[in-house]
Structure 1
Amino acid sequence: MAEQPRGEEAALVAVQSALAGRPGVVAAARAMSHFGEHSLGWVAVSMLGAVLAPRRRRAWLAAGAGAFCAHAAAVLIKRVVRRERPHHPAIAVNVGTPSRLSFPSAHATSTTAAAVLMARATGLPLPAVLVPPMALSRLVLGVHYPSDVLTGVAVGAAVAKAVGTVADRTGGDR
């Protein structure tokens, strides 16, 4: 008999118990996972924004660069920390992953950076709309601990701040 999940594993089981059985939740979480893989969905959105809003092109390009840089930062941190993904028998893993490393969540990291920087381009409250669903999806899918996701959000916000500062110093949207 497996030991009862404790700490972050218990929190992950609770999230999955509350949400994963609802119609469409796992499918939506998988779709978000595929969209956010390697930050490619956010880079594509930023390229589209750069094409469709030429007066805000630099801001959209900064959003794409920020998403990519945030993903790269998360991968580097993963390789240093080397925390394994959740593997308790009570946790359902609902999607494949490119590695066994979980800390921090690269999806949460790149989504946060993209949302913060796209908010600069659009004036919309995108972090409040985009970050929570992506962060929660990582728990529903059983591929991250809550601290992986929270750290990913913090790293993504820091990368967005740095990219935004560089963008502002190099000419804004002239």
Structure 2
Amino acid sequence: MSNKEVQILVDIQKNLLAQPAVLPTAKGLSLLGEHAAGWLALGTVGVVADKRRRRSWAGLFVAALASHAASVIIKRIVRRPRPNDVLIQIGVGTPSKLSFPSSHATSTTATMVYLARITKSPLPLLGIPVMALSRMVLGVHYPTDVLAGTILGAATAEAVHKFERATA
């Protein structure tokens, strides 16, 4: 792995891990985003609770699921190992040893882009850099992993949204 990406992770951890709430928050976000479970639950609740926008909530669910599936497939093709340097602290266990792209960043981006459309507010988009940063704080992804994940997630949300509109 490039020394620059390792140094970025070391710098992020050096500056953020000393803050009292950072590690517990990052671990909580990791749990929420694992296998996109939190985002699939959000979509399910929206489908059940918001009959007027049920189709959009179903789109959010599909975007979260499809983006997560795409990231897992790409991980298996690329096979980039997770960070493994003595200078990087690993703050959470992972279901695989593969790193690129970040599935958490991918499904979170797809979900937050969709949620911003549903709510007609840009505020959900703030969750994207928070999740991306949390993956680096935990030492389980390189910066390019989370960048690729956000791009893939945004593209997936856009594709699902276009399909939703075209089939309405």
Give the TM-score category using the shorter length: over 0.9
Verify: 1:22 aligned to 2:55, yes or no.
Answer: no
Instruction: Tell me the equivalent position of 2:164.
Output: 167
Aligned to 2:134: 137
Q: Which ranges of 4 or more aligned residues in structure 1 deviate by more than 4 Å?
A: none
Q: Please, which runs of 5 or more residues in structure 1 have no aligned partner?
A: none
The 5-angstrom pairing of residues 146-157 of structure 1 reads 146-157=143-154
**Worse-superposed segment, 150-159 or 43-52:** 43-52
Q: Give the residue type in structure 2 aligned to 1:133.
A: V
- TM-score, normalization by structure 1: 0.93
Query: TM-score if structure 2 supplies the norm length?
Result: 0.97
Please report how far the alpha carbon of residue 127 of structure 1 lies from its aligned counterpart in structure 2 after TM superposition: 4.5
Map 1:65-80 → 2, pairs under 5 A: 65-80=62-77
Q: How many pairs were matched up?
A: 167
Name the SS of the counterpart of 2:3 in structure 1. coil
CA-CA distance at 1:149 after TM superposition: 0.2
Give aligned-pair identity as a percent: 50
- One-letter amino acid of the counterpart of residue 143, structure 2: P
> Partners in 1 of 2:90 and 2:58 — Cα distance?
34
Instruction: Give the equivalent residue in structure 1 for 2:51.
Output: 54
Distance 2:40 2:152 in 1: 18
Instruction: Measure, in 2, the Cα distance between the counterparts of 1:51 and 1:65.
Output: 15
Q: Does 1:43 align with 2:49?
A: no
Deviations 1:83-104 (A, max 9, x none): 0000000000000000000000
